[in-house]
Amino acid sequence: MVRNVSNPPTLGLKECIKDLLGERGFAYIAKAKELRAAGKDVISFGVGQPDIPTFDHIVEEGIKALKERFTGYTETQGIKELRIAIAEYLNERYGSDVREDEVLVTIGTKGAAFLALAAYLKPGDEVIVPEPTYPVYSEAPKFIGAKPVYIPLKWEGEDRGFSLDIEKIEKAVSSKTKALVVNNPHNPTGAIFKPAELEALMDLARKHNLVIFVDEIYDNFIYEEGTFKSFMEFPDWRDYVVYLNGFSKTFSMTGWRVGYLVARGDVVRNLTKLAVNVWSCPPSMAQRAAIAALKGDWKPVRNMVNLFRERRDVIVTELRKVPGFEVWKSAGAFYVFPRVRKLLDGIGMSVEEFVNYLISTKYVVTLPGTAFPNTAGRDYVRFSFCISKDRIVEGVKRIKDAVENLLSSKSKR
């Protein structure tokens, strides 16, 4: 007999699930698709993925794997050939000493991040998170019952950009602090943190016995030579670092869902036991494609990075023409993160209201800085430059027109 239930048990979700923030960037991407379906000429600076398709030799290897019916389960840790290729890449690139048994292939880098956070953090633990941050580093700890402790990045103006506030980070360390997070190059700001800042973080980890969760997914999007230092270069990385990276950005493989985690061997063996109970194994054919990515021709990667450097220069030049925008030329990743506080004060809008205004009136999609927890982003807007230079120029022109109209109407009141 079917009966009406006023409070069905399927609504009995854990309260922490209800409190989680979604990744708001996807909501804006959905809005862009909706507007395009309605016939609008939408320009989107929102999506954080390269607009260049996965390179041919990688796709061909994926197809070859499918034709060979390489479609079953693999080792949970990832096929050995891929783990060897990842270790060789890190060792050649950073002079590290990673062994293949210290590599765990994951379902995207976000899967690696969740696995690491879930394995280390207990209810009541604190993890220091520089903000603004990529959402997984604030939301996964909350789901686990741990507490993200936010430390805002320092804004040092258009000439110097963003830096870690080492003094405040150290002051935030308490008896409950278990770990800290570093995303470098940084999403959403495009910052590359100086080697001295990373040395200071390692010194903090050594002093206070902390784990550092290191996300270097953008490590090939470096626009100025000699500015990037990897945590894998520290000789004692095994004692303090859980390293996260993947294939989504460098090889434009966002939909293939292949990431990896690197840690000391006994840690990887234990994390593999957690992984098998979550996803069994990474996609078999995608692992074969990932080997081709690492061991194949890197010229397409270099060409893409050079193109993105040109786009960065264009978008910075154009955005600096917009009244009220303070624009630092980002050093890495594929984002710029202009400060717009003067503009917002002048037009009497929050950053969310401003971004929504651009979407509804000019069909230009950007992301409010508040899409990246916690609150430090309220003075900023994130732009992804994963679109053509012509569309960058047109999109920023529309924004400039919108801003000038807002300022003009405000002055007439």
Q: Where are the domains of the chain?
A: 12-53+299-411, 60-295
Which tokens is 150 given? 């936010």
Intrachain domains 12-53+299-411 and 60-295 with the same fold: no
Q: Evaluate if residue 226 carries a pLDDT over 90.
A: no
What is the model's pLDDT at position 332?
98
Per the model's pLDDT, the better-predicted residue between 175 and 23 turns out to be 175
What is the model's pLDDT at position 227?
83
Query: Burial level of 338, CB count in 10 A (0-12/13-18/19+)?
Result: buried
The stretch 108-127 carries a mean pLDDT of: 97
Query: Any idea which residue has 């686990």 for tokens?
Result: 144
CATH (residue range 12-53+299-411): 3.90.1150.10
Tens of pLDDT, residue by residue over 132-180, are: 999 999 999 999 999 999 999 999 999 999 999 999 999 999 999 999 9
Per the model's pLDDT, the better-predicted residue between 8 and 54 turns out to be 54
Q: Mean pLDDT of all residues in the chain? A: 96
The sign of the dihedral angle between the CA atoms of 322, 323, 324, 328 is positive
Q: Which range (25-29, 241-245, 291-295, 370-374) has the least confidence? A: 25-29
- Assign domain 60-295 one CATH number from 3.30.70.260, 2.40.40.20, 1.20.1050.10, 3.40.640.10: 3.40.640.10
Sheet holding 126-131, edge to edge: 103-106, 259-262, 241-246, 211-215, 177-183, 126-131, 147-152
Taking Cα atoms as reference points, which of 46, 45, 319, 47 lies closest to residue 158?
319
